[in-house]
């Protein structure tokens, strides 16, 4: 069983959406709601699986919109991109306000085990709503640091910001993510262990992942225990 060995790892940084909380599908559905009216007469509808995973997941809201539309050969104005991002945001916030946020049980168990053994933890997201999502899921007490994305920086930069706020060198940090941009950025950032949660058969190994699993229940923790 693959493991996070805390004899060499002092902290673990988690991508929130789709790894800790079941919100990736909510993001994807919100994007479809915002994009499909714009795409009508221009291109095929937004695919909540293929398009979201390949072009949007792990990116900031505006960068995700630009990247996806470019994949369809569309060149919208910045005003149109901003309007699409705002429309998506309204739908997403309405959904979590109405239905709440669910956490993956395996992620909660892993976080408790890491905290019990003395590891520091961070939650990061390309979304600007990371704090709201983590709070709504009732998980704030399991993280030392929560990092939300910003419009003026790439989404994957959140991992580096998490390391900075934890004050732990990247070489002593494990990253757990499920997005192509995030895993690629972690691979380039010199993180000590990169764990990719792959539920869609993506090429994470090629982007620098050391371990690829389909569920966090497959991941063990060994090493240090807090006294």
What amino acid positions are annotated as catalytic residues? 15, 17
Query: Which among 2, 9, 21 has a CA at the least distance from the CA of 119?
Result: 9
| 3-class SS shares of the chain: helix, strand, coil, % to 5 | 45, 15, 40
Provide the 10 A C-beta neighbour count for residue 104.
18
Helices (H), the chain: 24-39, 50-51, 61-71, 78-99, 105-116, 130-136, 157-166, 180-188
Do you know the residue count of the chain? 227
Question: Residue 58 burial by CB count (10 A; 0-12/13-18/19+): exposed, middle or buried?
Answer: buried
Q: How far apart are the first and last CA of the chain?
A: 26
Spatial contact of 168 and 152, defined as CB atoms under 8 Å apart: no
Taking the CB of residue 225, how many other CB atoms lie within 10 A of it? 9
CA-closest candidate to residue 130, choices 78, 105, 165, 106 = 165
């Amino acid at each position: 069983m693959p493991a996070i060995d805390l004899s060499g790892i002092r902290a673990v940084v988690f991508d929130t959406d789709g790894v800790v909380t079941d919100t990736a599908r909510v993001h994807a559905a919100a994007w479809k709601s915002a994009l499909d009216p714009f795409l009508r007469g221009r291109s095929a509808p937004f695919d909540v699986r293929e398009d979201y995973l390949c072009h949007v997941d792990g990116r900031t809201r505006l960068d995700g919109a630009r990247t996806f539309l470019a994949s369809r050969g569309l060149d919208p104005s910045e005003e149109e991109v901003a309007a699409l991002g705002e429309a998506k945001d309204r739908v997403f916030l309405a959904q979590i306000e109405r239905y709440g946020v669910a956490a993956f049980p395996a992620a909660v168990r892993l976080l408790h085990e890491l905290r019990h053994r003395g590891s520091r933890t961070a939650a990061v997201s390309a979304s600007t709503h990371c704090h709201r999502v983590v709070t709504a899921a009732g998980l704030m007490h399991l993280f030392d640091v929560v990092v939300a994305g910003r419009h003026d920086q790439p989404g994957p930069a959140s991992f580096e910001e998490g390391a900075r706020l934890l004050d732990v060198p990247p070489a002593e940090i494990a990253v757990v993510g499920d997005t192509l941009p995030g895993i690629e950025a972690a691979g380039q950032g010199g993180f000590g262990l990169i764990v990719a949660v792959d539920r869609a058969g993506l090429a994470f190994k090629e982007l620098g992942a050391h371990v690829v699993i389909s569920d966090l229940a497959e991941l063990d923790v060994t090493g240090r225990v807090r006294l």
